[in-house]
Chains A and B, each alone.
Chain A
């Protein structure tokens, strides 16, 4: 069943219960996330839900409408340029097995393991049986890139693409979208794949996992994919359904971060480039490599960027609200820019060749972020390792944990 804004039969008399403050679409029940105003046109107070307003307003005067859908199988062949490694193939088989058993699954795979390709076989099988398939992620960047990759592999299929502001829909049978978009689907998908399950805002918003549950059909399979699972994800899938992939697709070890004990706040406040940072960047550029410098806060980045650009002309910075964000990332990818300062927005979903990473203020990052950041290096076959430096004023549990997780991955064990 798909909730539509203007068409279909009435599924609920109204989208929001104005007395109890419950949104029937996204099941939001926190009063803070409702807005009430007096409408002269309706002659009454209107309450609407702020949580899901971006996918069409659900309010107390409009009924929710929904359309029913029928199953429709398709051949759904796909095409892959390379062969899966043994480990990838084993994981792929496990997911196919889960699909037949209608059980959920947690794919706990190291960054750069080739997670996306692993689910191709399951997607193809599900579509052949007429199940609707959704590939979702909390991050728009990931959604865009996955849509490109899936369109390249499943050339004969019509793949929907949905995120805030973009809507390319065919028949809602094979959908790539952000997790919020799932609020519009009830009991609809036979296979849901959630990529980067631990990313913001899914990490902090439990409602989103419920949305996944609700969008899934009664007998269905949900595959959560992550490099940094937490308790609630393991509970969601069940401990026995965790599949781990500790090797990257090219088989090399992950680089272990080197820690430099130096805080940078003092230098930056005095408007000079920290000597340690300057030395690291210079060393990286000398070897003809590129560097991403992760900065904990936008305010710090704004102060640091001119200092870095003074010594290394062309150094740029990106953050989530940056309008030229995609242009800057592209110029980094093509090699025109070689130093890029960034907030955590580039912690996942990007691949650069010959990349090294520096994390300044590493003591303020949590281990999930740090593991993802470390995963940016060495993602290509011809540059499989890369270097990582953490610059931290002091040691933290998260830094220790990050190094421990990476060492365990390299030893072939996964730390649950």
Chain B
């Protein structure tokens, strides 16, 4: 067994507890590095690091969109975590989905459905996988792809302003029975939450199906 992040061999002593456990694909030093959270005050809603009382992103979103119940964030987007996502998304190191899946401490059972943010056809052709649903699959969480997108360009190439003013790129898949989400609890899953605009645009479409609650899970908060 090797650590999928640093590729060194994992040596774990076999004792009564570890013997019957499935071995984790991450070595202890890497696990420590990836679990670091920067100290400091954070926005109660989106977990953004800030020194003011009110988070400007959240205020903007609240003015323009209906907000989700809560936003859960699993890793702090800094140092090694940045490197992790860079490798996972841009060098196509798909094995890292297992690593990210290890950090999902979320009670998926509380929700009737998990919905990953989709990727465009262009991105799919380039990368060969949807980075969000791949992690969910690695974490053995059932999910439904009810959204689709036609947006081709990368979010990370855009400035903050451009992201906030772009039109909604998501649409519901046609074959989706409209009534079946009514009164359900849904969880929208995205990989990296920067301004929050992506998930809120996706939520805008999902709210048209009248779920009773919608929360957001994001792997990392930039």
Contacts and interface: CB of A to CB of B under 8 A. Distances in A.
Interface of A: 32-33, 35, 37, 39-42, 46, 48, 50-51, 53-54, 56-57, 59, 61, 298, 321, 323
A57 B93 contact: yes
Interface residues of B, number: 18
3 closest A-B pairs by beta carbon, nearest first, are A35-B95, A57-B92, A53-B93
5 contacts: A35-B94, A41-B125, A50-B4, A57-B91, A298-B29
Given A53-B91, A54-B91, A42 B128 contact: yes
Nearest to B124: A41
A310 to B, nearest CB: 22
Nearest to A57: B92
Given A53-B93, A323-B79, A39 B128 contact: yes
A37 B4 CA distance: 13
A56 B128 contact: no
B129 interface: yes
Given A57-B93, A321-B80, A32 B33 contact: no
B129 A39 contact: yes
Given A37-B95, A41-B124, A42-B128, 9 more contacts: A37-B94, A39-B128, A39-B129, A48-B92, A50-B93, A54-B91, A57-B91, A61-B128, A321-B80
B7 interface: yes
A32 B128 contact: no
A56 B94 contact: no
Most buried by B among A35, A298, A323: A35
Given A33-B2, A35-B4, A321-B33, A48 B128 contact: no
A18 B92 CA distance: 17
Nearest to B79: A323
Interface string B58-95: 00000000000000000000011000000100011111
Interface string B102-141: 0000000000000000000000110011000000000000
A282 B44 CA distance: 48
A176 to B, nearest CB: 22
Interface string B1-43: 0101001000000000000000000000100010000000000
Nearest to B7: A50
Contact of A56 (B79, B80, B91, B95): B91
